[in-house]
Every structure is written in C-alpha cells, then in structure tokens.
A and B are shown apart, each in its own frame.
Chain A
Amino acid sequence: MKRNGIFFWVGAAVFLIAIALMTKLITNEYPFFAGYVILQFIVLAVAWSILGGHAGYVNFGTSAFFGMGVYTAVFLFKVAGAPLLVQIAAAAAVGALMGFALGLLTLRMQGIFFSIATIALTIVIETSITNWRYVGGAAGIQLQRPPVTWPFSGYVQMLFFVQAVLVVLAVVVSRYIQNSWIGRGLQALRDDELAAECTGVPTLRLKVLACVVSGALMCAAGAPAAMYLQYADPSSAFNLNYSVSTLAMSLIGGTAHWAGPIVGAILLGTTQQLLTVTISSEVNVLVLGVMLVLFVVAAPEGLIGLLRRIRRHRREGKQ
C-alpha cells in the first residue's frame, strides 16, 4: 500500500515535468491544441466517475457543469478581466454549489430518476444562458486572450499545462476517495442503499458530497475552454456530446478503479481526435456509439474490469 503511494506521487510528478518540458521543446501549437481536449476529457471522466462509478449514480449533466465552467470564466473575464486561475477557482466554487443544490434536490430519488433530473438541469441552464445578453446570448461571445505570462511561450501551451495540473488534481481526489472510508461508504450504497443505511452509512450525505466534488471538478475543467477557443456559445458549451463522451469514457475504461476513466479518456479521446482530423467530426460520434455498445456487451466492467478478470483467471489457472 505504502509503496503504491510512492509510485503514484512519483508518477504524478513525472507526468507534470514531462508536460512542462513538452511546452518548452515542441514549437508546433497543434499537439497542444489536440492534447488539451484529451486532458480535458480525462478530468471530466475522472470527475464523473466519483459519483457515477463509486456511488453508481449516472449523471447525464456533465455538459451542464462543463458549460457552467465555461460561462463562469466568460462572465468573470468580461466583468473584471479576471486571470485564468481566478476563473478556474471560481468555476470550481460554482460547480460545488451546483453539485450541492443538485444533490439535495435530486439524490433523494434513486437510480434512473436522478439521471433524468440531470438531463433537465442541462436544458434549464442552457436556456437561461441563451437568454442572457451580457454573456453573448444565443449568438455567443468573442474573447480576446490576454498576453501570455512567463514561463510559457504561447497561450495554448499554458492552457495545456493548466489542464494537466487539473488532471493530477482530479486523480488525486478520486484516488483519495476510493481508498478512504468515503469510498467504502459509496461502494456500500451502490451495492445496496438500504443495507448501507442500516449499517450506519449516512447515504444522503455521502451522495451529496460525491456530487459536490464531482461537480466542482467538472466545472473547473470547463473554465479554461473559453480562453482555449477564444469564443463561447451556449449550444457548444452545453453540448450533449460532453455528457455522452464522458460517460462512455468512464464506462469503457471501467469505474471500479480510479485509473479506469483515465484509460478510457485517453483511448476514446485520442480516437476521436484522430477521426475528427482524418475523416470528419460526425464519424467520431458514430464510433463512440459503436464502442459503447461493444463494451457494454463484451466488457461491462470496462477495460479495468476486463484486466482484473484475466488476471484472476491466470491466478486460478496457476493454482
């Protein structure tokens, strides 16, 4: 357990150093532009699986949280020219509040009813933003990036690094939750909510907590997107694709372990990027659907579940 911990922290440090070196050594902007999207999906998938994986509550509202992150950044930038870090921190706070409200209002409902409520949330928020002139309304809003700060050579490189820091943050949180009493409680309530409650697990409180943490991370992941595109409009910020892709990445990777969503996001995110560039952006949605169906049939517990099953078979084979 202890040795695992050291490996994890060393791995996280190596990852960040590698990302920092990349921003120094690679001069072409395109790899950062594409890589940013993958990193963003890692954060979303890891955050999603805190509630969707550990607790088993399927959230279709990823795009609501993501879009709120985008528009928190847009609003703060327009009103006060707030720097990127402030935008992200504020988005995290907004996401936490949203998660808290959503949790209190809907987590008393069990299973599918919660999922339906999260879809409604997306529509309600998107409609509100569409009718809010100050942040651009339905037509969207153009944003002028401020000059990039030292030590970065370009704004996209900086966003890439910032999103990588968010990845580490999200994974640290998710891993902590999985290994702590919170994770055990969430796992218990996913298996059987009544039995968990009668074993002393404060189910509602834990679900709301998971919703708050998950919401804060999703919103934070959305905040830099405004500066990344230099443009924001409701129909792309609240695009249902974010919800579907995030869900698919978590499920394809497997939610039983914190590493699952990372694997899923890298695999699916990379495939989507390649397809968008080489064929078209419509095909990647098709591939997403096909992969989701394949995994639901062949490996319902995702790649992580598949690996575990293979390892168990091998061990039994040896015995």
Chain B
Amino acid sequence: MTPPDTSAPLLQISGLTKRFGGFTALDNVSVDIRPGERFGLIGPNGSGKTTLINCISGAFRTEARTVVFRGEDITQLPAHVRTRRGIARSFQIPRPFKSMTVVENLMVALDFAVATDPLVSAAHRHDTAMSILAGMGLASKADASATTLSQVELRKMELARAMATRPKLLISDEAMAGLSSSEVDEVLDLLMSLADQDITVIMIEHIMQAVMRFSQRVMCLDAGKIIAIGAPNEVMANQRVQEAYLGT
C-alpha cells in the first residue's frame, strides 16, 4: 500500500515548534512526506493542523531547518517563493480573488507562479487555464465572476488555482467542509486523480470516510503533538486518537 521507503523524502519536518505568545500551537513535530504520497492529517479543532500547513506554505515563519523541501531548507523563503518551488495550498475558508472571473483566478497563478517563458503567449496560458478548469469540471464557469460560484465550485476553483501553479506538493485544507456527501465524493475523486499525476497531496479533513479512502498514511495531531501516525486503520484503532476525538 505505502510507496517504498528508499526514495528521499519530498518534505521533511523536523523538530518544528510554533508558539503564539505563551500558547504552543505545535510542539516538536517531526514527519517526513514521501514523493507521490497521499497523506491524511487529522486531529480535533485547535490541534494545530492549519498552523502546521501555514508553517509549510510560508504564512508563518519558523526556525531554520525545521522545514526542508526537496532537500532545501525553505524556512527563510517567503510564501510566494515556496509556491514557485512547488508548494500549493487551498484554504479552509475559500479565498477567491473576488473581482476576477474564474479563469482570471487561474491566470494569476500562471502569470506568477510558473517560470515564465517569454515565448509562451498569453493565449497559450489561457488555454492551459481552460484545460485545468475542464479537468475540474469547471469549464462552463470560466467566465463567471468568482463571487457567483457555489460552495463546491469555490472549493474546486481553489484546487484548480493551486494546480495552475504546477505544484509538487498540494495541501488541501478541509476542501470538503460543508459539502453534501455526493459533493464530497466529487472532490475526493478529484484529489485522487491529482495524486495519480505524481503530485504529493496532504489532506486535512474531518470527514473520516474520506480520510480513510484517500490516505496511504494518516497522522493525528492533538494539542500540537503527534499522537499517532501510520496506516489509516491503525491510527483509527489507536486509543489516544479515539480519546482525542470522542473524549474520555
């Protein structure tokens, strides 16, 4: 089930601690993510999941060498440079560029995140954006304003925008929150198909059936600490995980 251990990790988190004043949001977290892995991240509210991905994507700065991506220390890099290196994310609450159309939202990524070749014309980039949208089933909404989208369409657009940056690592922060069960399946299938395109995916999710179906490995955080990591079944069976979720 899990990919072989021989390949070098894509992302190495080592001894990562993040404090806000006196509150420790992440406490000495260490984990390696392998290339091509589908990684599930779970934990109760406030356990530090979003803080962790903010540290990875660059919204928060951390100490040197705590976040290493493709063998390089990225802790000193601003978020936009990390995006260009191949780390893309979606947001827990969708953050579209509201004054733009759907396709323009993707054009931002194509204009800025992808190393621009002057020979690649704007028309060509527009085609690229359209083909990504088609892959997400959003082609018909390309020229609609981002404000007119439904919740599931917004989630898909965020994933499409993240995909337009040509990521090697995609972090999906609760992309299924607030969706109906058929919509959850839709988004889950999309994420699965991305993982098939050699993109490593970290998925934060509360919907357990989605986590179980998606992940090759699952990590559970509680109060900023890793309480369990391993195959999905093992983690779910872990007593501390059950306590963290259900209370004792």
Contact = CB atoms under 8 A, between A and B. Distances in A.
B83 interface: yes
B209 to A, nearest CB: 28
Nearest to A195: B95
Given A192-B97, A196-B108, A200-B165, 5 more contacts: A184-B108, A184-B111, A196-B97, A199-B113, A203-B80
A196 B98 CA distance: 12
B99 A190 contact: yes
Contacts of B112: 181, 185, 199-202
Interface residues of B, number: 29
Contacts of A202: 78, 80-81, 112
Contacts of B91: 194-195
B83 A200 contact: yes
Contacts of A194: 59, 79, 91, 95
Contacts of B84: 200
B100 interface: yes
22 contacts: A181-B111, A187-B99, A187-B100, A188-B97, A191-B100, A192-B96, A194-B79, A194-B95, A195-B96, A195-B97, A196-B108, A197-B80, A199-B83, A199-B108, A199-B112, A199-B162, A200-B84, A200-B108, A200-B109, A200-B165, A202-B78, A202-B81
A225 B95 CA distance: 45
A198 B89 contact: yes
Interface string A189-219: 0111011111111111000000000000000
Interface in A2-38: none
Interface string B89-127: 101000111111000100111011110000000000000
B161 A199 contact: yes
Interface residues of A, number: 20
Given A201-B108, A202-B80, A192 B165 contact: no
Contacts of B109: 199-200
B221 interface: no
B175 interface: no
B129 to A, nearest CB: 12
Interface of B: 57-59, 78-81, 83-84, 88-89, 91, 95-100, 104, 107-109, 111-114, 161-162, 165
B116 to A, nearest CB: 8
Interface of A: 181, 184-185, 187-188, 190-192, 194-204, 256
B100 A199 contact: no
Contacts of A200: 80, 83-84, 108-109, 112-114, 165
Contacts of B111: 181, 184-185
Contacts of A201: 80, 108, 112
A185 B108 contact: yes
Nearest to A185: B112
Contacts of B78: 197, 202, 204
Contacts of B98: 191-192
B97 A198 contact: no
Contacts of A184: 104, 107-108, 111
Contacts of B97: 187-188, 191-192, 195-196
A198 B108 contact: no
A256 B99 CA distance: 10
A188 B99 CA distance: 8
A194 B100 CA distance: 16
Contacts of B100: 187-188, 191
Contacts of B104: 184
Contacts of A203: 80
Contacts of A181: 111-112
Contacts of A187: 97, 99-100
Nearest to B111: A181
B206 to A, nearest CB: 22
A188 B95 CA distance: 11
B97 to A, nearest CB: 4
B99 A191 contact: yes
B222 to A, nearest CB: 26
A215 B82 CA distance: 31
Contacts of A191: 96-100
Contacts of A196: 97, 108
A195 B158 CA distance: 10
A203 B112 CA distance: 11
A206 B235 CA distance: 45
